[in-house]
């Protein structure tokens, strides 16, 4: 069930049909298999979903950020694992497009735009908090015109299938970013299994064992990545997660409305109980409010307004917590059936918890948003 709250663009309509027909019926199976089939990933490419924000001359459709967010919302409605692959691919592709040099753009954008090469974002490390984005045990040393990269990254979404890694490493002058092909000598990929949620996002641990890179692998000047590449890419990823969380709210609402319209209790339908109607009303309100916050962040991105950074924090905070509550309520509404394999709400519940952790945990978001509030008051 897809609620029609406004006219949609042709792109959003097409993706909505794809999600209804080719994603929703299979998402639970992908979840159990911990894998999304290659033909589905190729289908995403046929729809132009991997990088529609790129300019037409770079292989994209030149879509604005608000529309991109709606596309990620639609995919998130059907499968958070698939949306997660879109998120990290978007982060890597946007980095090449915005900060890569001409050679890097020419080399990688055609494949990234088509999805024949998938990108992954390699920041999190096993020995550092995921929220401490500037901590880097992975290092790159420059010597005789060659960079030597060594270290390990973990919880890398899409790491099992990506062909290009955007890797952040400490260098003598600070954090730097490198483009590393997955088949480069010294790169080792180990799948991560049995995750709580987004189990089909094909996570991996990536090890770099004295990987030798020529200067063309470096994105921007050495030591330049922390305040530019990392900040911009994480903001875009946070926006995608926020929009995908709206999709989870929508899926929880649709599942709950359908279930309570068919299930009876005490001589009447569940939908007629006041407690159920209150939960449905909360989901509708959360869906609409979260989407409005995402659209605000998207409009600010399209305008090039730096206020988009905080707007995206707020959108992600609200949307991810709304998704967690909506999914939890959906399980409660389904009762024991909500804990079993025959309804999608158990998957939504597990995926929604992940949304509260990735791209800035709920607690980090609270600190960041409060800091901004105090700056506004004191300023």
C-alpha R_g of the chain = 21
Query: From the centroid of its chain, how far is CA 330?
Result: 22
CA-closest candidate to residue 169, choices 178, 158, 182: 178
Distance, CA of 119 to CA of 112 (rounded, Å): 7
Distance, CA of 11 to CA of 2 (rounded, Å): 15
Backbone phi and psi for residue 188, each to the nearest 5 degrees, phi listed first: -125, 130
Counting Cα atoms < 13 Å in the Cβ hemisphere of 234 gives 23
Distance, CA of 300 to CA of 296 (rounded, Å): 6
Token pair recorded at residue 324: 């967690």
Cβ atoms of residues 83 and 71 within 8 Å? no
Pairing of strands 174-181, 187-191: unpaired
Distance, CA of 80 to CA of 30 (rounded, Å): 11
Q: Reduced to 3 states, what is the DSSP secondary structure of residue 273?
A: coil
Query: Which residues are part of the catalytic machinery?
Result: 359
8-state DSSP, 339: G
Token pair recorded at residue 84: 């997660």
């Amino acid at each position: 069930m897809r609620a029609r709250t406004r006219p949609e663009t042709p792109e959003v309509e097409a993706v909505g049909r794809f999600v209804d027909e080719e994603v929703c019926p299979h998402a639970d199976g992908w979840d159990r298999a911990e894998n999304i089939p290659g033909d589905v990933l190729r289908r995403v490419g046929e729809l132009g979903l991997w990088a529609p924000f790129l300019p037409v001359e770079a292989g994209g459709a030149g879509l604005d950020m608000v529309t991109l967010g709606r596309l990620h919302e639609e995919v998130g409605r059907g499968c958070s694992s698939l949306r997660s692959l879109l998120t990290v691919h978007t982060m890597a592709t946007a980095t090449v497009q915005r900060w890569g040099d001409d050679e890097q753009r020419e080399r990688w954008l055609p494949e990234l735009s088509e999805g024949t090469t998938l990108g992954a974002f390699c920041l999190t490390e096993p020995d550092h908090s995921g929220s401490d984005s500037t901590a880097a045990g992975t290092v790159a040393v420059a010597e005789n015109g060659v960079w030597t990269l060594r270290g390990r990254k973990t919880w890398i979404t899409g790491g099992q299938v990506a062909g290009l890694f955007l890797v952040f490493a400490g260098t003598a002058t600070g954090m730097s970013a490198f483009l590393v092909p997955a088949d480069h000598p010294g790169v080792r990929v180990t799948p991560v299994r049995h995750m709580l949620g987004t189990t089909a996002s094909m996570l991996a641990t990536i090890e770099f064992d004295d990987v030798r890179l020529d200067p063309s692998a470096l994105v921007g000047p050495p030591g330049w990545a922390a305040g530019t590449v990392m900040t911009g890419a994480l903001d875009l990823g946070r926006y995608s997660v926020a929009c995908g969380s709206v999709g989870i709210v929508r899926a929880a609402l649709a599942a709950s409305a359908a279930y309570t319209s068919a299930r009876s209790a005490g001589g009447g339908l569940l939908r007629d109980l006041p407690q159920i109607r209150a939960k449905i009303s909360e989901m509708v309100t959360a869906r609409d409010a979260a989407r409005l916050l995402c659209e605000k962040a998207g409009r600010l991105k399209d305008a090039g307004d730096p206020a988009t950074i905080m707007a995206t924090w707020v959108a992600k905070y609200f949307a991810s917590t709304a998704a967690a509550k909506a999914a939890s309520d959906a399980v409660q509404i389904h009762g024991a059936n909500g804990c079993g394999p025959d309804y999608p709400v158990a998957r939504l519940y597990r995926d929604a918890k992940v949304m509260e952790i990735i791209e800035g945990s709920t607690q980090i978001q609270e600190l960041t948003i409060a800091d901004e509030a105090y700056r506004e008051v004191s300023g």
